[in-house]
Amino acid sequence: MANPLSLPKYSIGVGDRFAHQAKAQLRACILAAERGVEIVPVWNKSNREHAIVGSEPSGTRKAADAAVQALGWHKPYFVDADHINLKTVERFLAPCDFFTIDVADLIGQPAQETAVERFVAAHPELIGNGHIPGVPRSFQTSLDFVVQTASKYLAAVEEAGRIYRYIADRKGAGSFIPEVSMDETDSPQTPIELLIILAAISAERIPIQTIAPKFTGRFNKGVDYEGDLAKFSQEISDDIEVIAYAAERYELPSNLKLSVHSGSDKFSIYRPIREAMRKFDTGVHLKTAGTTWLEELIGLAEAGGDGLALAKEIYAEAYAHRQELCAPYAAVIDIDPSKLPAPQEVNAWSSAQFVSALRHDPNSPAYNSSIRQLLHVGFKIAAKMGDCYLRLLSEMEDTVAKNVTTNLFDRHIMPLFLED
């Protein structure tokens, strides 16, 4: 399953809702390179985000290419067709070279009985006396378990195969990075389920280089992880061990690695991930997309004047339309309505007050996670403002870009990839 285009060991998904911060994001990767660590940027934007903003994937490619040329970046970089399926992939084919194949909606759809039988017959190594040689002894399996797991996931993996082949037929195998995503679902996959999924992906001959499972705990948009960190740490370690075993056992690409779809700013999980990477000498792909839009808003508010006024207007509109804005993200936000100040109160805030409420600093008494989550999903408000919003981004570029670069480097890249 050779794949000539290869994703390096460390990569970071940098979403940019309005395609204005590619240079600021790339500067964070340059800062890492200056410290001796190569972290390649992957600019990602989903079909839903393009639809809301009124943009095209070609715009994401154009912004990425322009930033790379302007800053003299000579290392790899990619543009990700984020969370695509057969219905949405077409517009991404030309500009993208990374495809996040999302089949989470098919998890649990019953697979054909004959397909399950073929899978089980082809993988006797998965059925032992409670232990699979080569993986941790804590991973328990049985014939019934393998049948149940295959029944739950095979339909999703088969669809991933159809999507992969559709892309490969049009772009050419080896000309893009395939990822399979199963994170947007209710129940996390256990490490042993992940192993069975990887065996099925191999049978579909999808040369995935990253796999995005669902982890335990809550990954709410724009705020820190909520859950049992000790359990998450063990899960990450086990998943990485399973991936290493599966890559060799099932002839998947040797650089196959975990993709963590963070929902942005999961600071507390960076240490467990870093420790697991070092333990197994492996890499990770981190998606932290929505943070950029919030840093734009922080930058506008910090600039004061028209920027602060616009930030307050966006909050007022988001507050007025909070139910419709939050509905599509109900499973990944926890907003306390009582913690949302009325727009009249926010209108009286200084620049420092607005910035302190929105900036993700859990140690600050002014930080308000409910405001942050509401505005995280409220980029539709800015999109409707059109040129008014984009003009201020350009006028206040220095302040906005500084926030984008500092946030990405100091709060994400440093603790995950550079700190001891």
Task: Give the tens place of pLDDT for each residue, 230-282.
Answer: 999 999 999 999 999 999 999 999 999 999 998 889 999 999 999 999 999 99
Task: Give the tens place of pLDDT for each residue, 85-112.
Answer: 999 999 999 999 999 999 999 999 999 9
Judged against a pLDDT cut of 50, whether residue 307 lies above it is answered with yes
Average pLDDT over residues 345-370: 97
Whole-number Å distance between alpha carbons of 236 and 319: 37
Whole-number Å distance between alpha carbons of 59 and 224: 30
Exposure of 342 by Cβ count < 10 A (0-12 exposed, 13-18 middle, 19+ buried)?
A: exposed
- Residue 291 binned pLDDT confidence (cut-offs 50, 70, 90): confident
Task: Give the tens place of pLDDT for each residue, 10-36.
Answer: 999 998 999 999 999 999 999 999 999
Which pLDDT score, from 0 to 100, does residue 1 have?
43
Q: Where are the domains of the chain?
A: 10-104+160-289, 303-396
Task: Give the tens place of pLDDT for each residue, 380-414.
Answer: 999 999 999 999 999 999 999 999 999 999 999 99
Chain-centroid distance, C-alpha 159: 21
Whole-number Å distance between alpha carbons of 266 and 269: 6
Residue 339: left (phi > 0), alpha (psi -120 to 50), or beta?
Answer: alpha
Instruction: Please spell the DSSP secondary structure of 371-418, one letter per residue.
Output: HHHHHHTTHHHHHHHTHHHHHHHHHTHHHHHHHHHHIIIIIIIIIIII
Which pLDDT score, from 0 to 100, does residue 142 have?
85
Alpha helices in 221-269 (DSSP H): 229-249
Looking up tokens 């049948």 gives: 147
Domain covering 10-104+160-289 in this structure, CATH number: 3.20.20.70
